[in-house]
Each structure stands twice: as C-alpha cells, then as structure tokens.
Amino acid sequence: MKELIRNSHYIDGKWVTSSTLFPVRNPATGDIIVEIARGGEVEAQQAVSAAAKAFPAWRALTAKERSIKVRRWGELMLEHKEALAELLTREQGKPIAEARGEVGYAASFLEWFAEEAKRAYGDVIPSPFPGSKILVTREPVGVVAAITPWNFPLAMITRKAAPALAAGCTMVLKPAEDTPLSALALAVLAEEAGIPAGVFNVVAGEARAIGKVFTESEIVRKLSFTGSTRTGKLLASQCANTLKKMSLELGGNAPFIVFDDADIDAAVRGAMASKFRNTGQTCVCVNRFYVQSGIYDAFTTALSTAVSKLRVGNGLTGEVEQGPLINQAALEKVQAHVADAVSKGANVLIGGQPHVLGGTFYEPTVLTNARHDMLIAEDETFGPVAACFQFDTEEEVIAAANNTPYGLSAYFYTQDMKRIWRVADAIESGMIGINEGIISTEVAPFGGVKESGLGREGSKYGLDEYVELKYLMMGGLQ
Ligand SMILES: NC(=O)C1=CN([C@@H]2O[C@H](COP(=O)(O)OP(=O)(O)OC[C@H]3O[C@@H](n4cnc5c(N)ncnc54)[C@H](OP(=O)(O)O)[C@@H]3O)[C@@H](O)[C@H]2O)C=CC1
Ligand SMILES: O=C(O)CCCC(=O)O
C-alpha cells in the first residue's frame, strides 16, 4: 500500500514544496491533519509548463495505451479504497460510508473514460463536390486547467481528469483549500499507474493567484470548474481574453415537488437521500420542497420523523449519517438562512439550531410554511435544512420551480404518467429525478442550464468537452 498523505505539490512528476505552508483541518474536530505547501503564481506557472511539455507525447500515445493507464489509476483507487475513504472523511467530514461511496464513484469515471477513450471516433461526410472526401477527426483540446470544490474532493477531480486524459489532454489542477489531501493522494496513485510526468499536475494554495495563471495562460486551452456560480462567472470572465473552451458546473436551487398522487413513503426516502447527502452539501441537493396541499401535513410529518432518526457526529465513527459542515462560513450561511426564514414566518418542525456537538455541526432541520421572500428560496443553503413550501396546482408549482436563475437538478414525485411527461418537459433543469432522489452516475450527463453552468460531465457526452473537431477536405481524388 502506498503512503497517500503528501504535503507538497505534484508538478512534472516531482513533489515540490513552497516557502509557506497552510493547515488542513478535520472539520469534525478542528484538529490539523497536516500542514501543506501553499502554492501561488510560480508553482502554477511551473505546472502549466510541465503540462505543455508533456502534451505532445501523451497525445501521441494510442487511445488504447492511454486507456490502460487511466483504467489502472481507477483500479488503484479501489485497491486503496479504505485509506482514501478515511482520508476523505478526515479532511471533508462526510460519513465514512459516503466516503467509501465517493471513492467508488470517483473510480467509476476513470473506468468509464478509459473505455470511451477507445471510441473517440471521427466521421466521413458525403461530399457535395466530385473527387473529394470530407473527414472529421477528434483531437485533444490541449492543456486543461481544473479547479475543484471541497464537497467531493475525489469525484470532482476524476470526473474532469478521466475524460481529459483519455482524450489525450494534459491537466493542471487546483483543489479546494479545505480538501487538498485527496487530490494529492490521487496524484500518488496516478504516478503509480504509470501516468507520465507532467500529464497530471496538482498545485494547492492561493486560489486567486493560481486561478489567474490558469485562466490567463495562452497555453491552457480549456477550463473545467466546479463550484459556486459567483466564482464560475469570475473565472469565465478571466478566460475571455484567451477564449478558452469552458465547462462550468455551478450552483443550483433544486426544487423537489411532491404531488398529491405521489407515493409518500417513496417521496420521503428520495427526499432524505437527496437533501441529506453529504449533510446537504452537494450542488444537486434539494433546496426547495414543494408539497401539494392534500398531502402537505402527511409528507412534512413523515419527513420530520425520518429526519429525527439521523445520527450526527464524527464521520469516522461508523454509525454516523450526518457529519459537520465544511467550515465556519458554511455554518454561518445555514444559520442565516434559518434565522431569516423563521423571522418571516417559517415554523421549525425539527432542528433549527447548531448541534450540541458544537464546532460546525448543525441539527438536521425541517421548516414548514416556507415562502418565496425568504433567503432559503433564492440561494442554495448547502446544509441540512429542508424548507417546505405548500402549493395547490401543477401550473403554480412549475412557475415557482422555474422562478430561479439556476437550473441544475430538479425532482418530482407523482404516479400519473401524463403528468410525468408534462412536468419533465416544463421544468428548466439539466437533470431531473422522477420518483427518484439520487441521479448521479458516471453513465449519465451531469450538468445544468441557465446560471448553473455550461457543458456536461460523465457519460458518452463527457469526452466531447475535451476534444476539438477537425474537418479535413481532401480534393483532387479523381
Ligand atoms: N456546484 C458545487 O458543487 C458547489 C457549489 N458551492 C456553492 O458555493 C458556496 C461557496 O462555497 P465555496 O467553497 O466558497 O465555493 P467557490 O466557488 O468559491 O470554490 C470552489 C473552488 O473555486 C476556487 N476559487 C474560489 N475563488 C477563486 C478565484 N478567484 N480564482 C480561482 N479559484 C477560486 C476555490 O478555491 P479555495 O477553496 O482555495 O478558495 C475552490 O477550489 C457554497 O455554499 C455553495 O453554495 C460550493 C462548492 C461546490
Ligand atoms: O456538488 C457537486 O458539484 C458534486 C455533485 C456530486 C454528484 O455528482 O452527485
């Protein structure tokens, strides 16, 4: 087994330190896990140069040769599943069972795109001109920069690195300040898998300085970002001058609609899975529950009963289902949303306070009588708070669900087949769970519309984000 904890950057196949360090803390205890190198402009430039140098040889490999290495990277993740999961829980806080799930999910992107690498087919187009042939080939974009968030410290990296490397691109990565250790552990395993020096580089540290180098570089031809809409817009503006290709997976404000004819038990199971995954800290977590009047009391009561059974604590202890929030700012956001909702008339059915464990733990919470003038209706809470709105008609709820600049995920529960199609067509969202609370899988296209972003990750479509089409017109063939 490889030692997975590293405290320096991984650039050009070497472990490189910096003159200053920053602490990585366990959000469940506040303890420092390790202090790691704080990189900035210099390290970011080194990483971009290394990725540029490695690109010609990596793209020149056959798709099958790249596929073998990418697949091996994923296999190594699974061979180190327990150690990776433990590290992930220590730096991110999610319950160990969810961390194990994330290791598998992250590895699944490496397996999937190792397969897709071999299917980066071109095209032959019937030519309208005599004596000519028209061909389309698919080429790697070049050097890709990735900037990733703290909520899925492994999966958000492999969801980008797997298609990028499979397509023949090289990568520079800046992980989130709160969770760089999982990214560095991935670099250890990339090296072990035989991924050549410079193909995958990790620089942790100063977000703005590193981001500026990545976005302003003429060498970097693509930015792939997951995080807040605010930061996504900033990075997109920084990319404008070099007109980079961009994938942006940004914030959401997911509605979860429960119609009168829904199977209430199934809806509560879906609600629990979607809302409380990672303590409410995923971009596809429900933010607004819309429950039809006829079942409002029954649903909210059943939801509260389920929420009352959630066990909160340090994710490393096996029984726990809800970990801490990632940091103090996250706790303050949740507190502000709940205080604002209560001040405007929301009722607290359960929870509503910081947890007695202290730190950044917050009680799993259900609010009823939610209204649209509350902060919770506009901005993703990113915490364990289920805010329930009441509605009467399908028309009214579709208008309410769409009344947001976001459009990442949405969910609805009904047993009426005609309504399923009507509502699925009407909702403005990149992804919809229909009688289903968990939608994430490597085989399906993940991404949003409106201000939730650009592009799709995972699935057969995910490779397209890392390739350019090249059209070849061959004349004089007669
Ligand atoms: N779509 C999603 O999956 C996510 C959505 N969010 C939403 O965003 C809110 C705030 O979370 P937060 O972590 O601050 O999200 P951010 O969007 O700020 O962070 C995401 C990533 O972007 C980096 N980053 C931040 N600012 C810059 C910059 N100027 N240049 C380059 N990189 C930058 C961060 O680095 P660093 O960590 O070093 O600051 C991190 O790696 C959450 O409450 C949630 O609503 C958050 C995370 C994921
Ligand atoms: O919050 C995110 O951006 C990660 C989504 C996790 C998933 O793929 O479900």
Q: 254-434: which CATH architecture?
A: 3-Layer(aba) Sandwich (3.40)
Q: How far does residue 381's CA lie from ligand 1's centre (Å)?
A: 14
Strands 467-474, 133-140: parallel, antiparallel or unpaired by DSSP? Answer: antiparallel
Over residues 3-46, the pLDDT tens digits come to 999 999 999 999 999 999 999 999 999 999 999 999 999 999 99
What's the pLDDT score for residue 392?
98
Domain boundaries, the chain: 9-250+452-472, 254-434
Secondary element (H or E) of residue 167? helix 155-167
- The DSSP annotation for 262-309 comes to S-HHHHHHHHHHHHHGGGG-STTSEEEEEEEGGGHHHHHHHHHHHHHT
Domain 9-250+452-472 of CATH type 2.60.40.10: no
Q: Which residues line ligand 1 (CB under 6 A)?
A: 147-151, 174, 176-178, 207-208, 211, 226-228, 231, 234-235, 249-251, 283, 333, 380, 382
What is residue 45's predicted lDDT score, i.e. its pLDDT? 98
pLDDT in tens, the chain (478 residues): 679 999 999 999 999 999 999 999 999 999 999 999 999 999 999 999 999 999 999 999 999 999 999 999 999 999 999 999 999 999 999 999 999 999 999 999 999 999 999 999 999 999 999 999 999 999 999 999 999 999 999 999 999 999 999 999 999 999 999 999 999 999 999 999 999 999 999 999 999 999 999 999 999 999 999 999 999 999 999 999 999 999 999 999 999 999 999 999 999 999 999 999 999 999 999 999 999 999 999 999 999 999 999 999 999 997 999 999 999 999 999 999 999 999 999 999 999 999 999 999 999 999 999 999 999 999 999 999 999 999 999 999 999 999 999 999 999 999 999 999 999 999 999 999 999 999 999 999 999 999 999 999 999 999 999 999 999 999 999 9
Distance (angstroms) between ligand 1 centre and the Cα of 53 equals 29
ipTM of the complex: 0.97
> Closest ligand 1 atom to the C-alpha of 147?
41
Q: Contact at 8 Å (CB) between 133 and 477?
A: yes
| Phi, psi values for residue 376, rounded to 5° | -60, -20
pLDDT of residue 318: 75
pLDDT in tens, 80-102: 999 999 999 999 999 999 999 99
pLDDT attached to residue 437: 98
Tokens of 304: 């509260």
Give, for ligand 2, the residue of 151, 382, 442 to mutate: max count of ligand atoms closer than 8 Å to Cβ.
151
Contact present, 279 and 94 (Cβ < 8 Å): yes
Testing ligand 1's pocket by substitution, the residue of 24, 41, 105, 147 carrying the most ligand atoms inside 8 A of its CB is 147
- 249, 451, 457, 465: the catalytic one is 249
Q: Hey, whose CA ends up nearest to atom 14 of ligand 1?
A: 228
Least distant ligand from the CA of 215: 1
| Ligand 2 centroid distance, CA of 285 (Å) | 9
Query: Which atom, in ligand 1's list, is nearest to the CA of 175?
Result: 41
Predicted local confidence at residue 289, as pLDDT: 98
- Helices 207-216 and 41-60 meet at what angle, rounded to 10? 40
- What pLDDT does 2 receive? 74
Closest CA to 151 of 79, 257, 226, 215: 226
Going by CA atoms, what residue is nearest to atom 41 of ligand 1?
176
In the residue annotation, 396 being an active-site residue is answered as no
Does residue 452's CB lie within 6 angstroms of at least one atom of ligand 2? Answer: no
Q: Which ligand sits nearest to residue 445's alpha carbon?
A: 2
Residue 205 has which token pair?
A: 């540290």
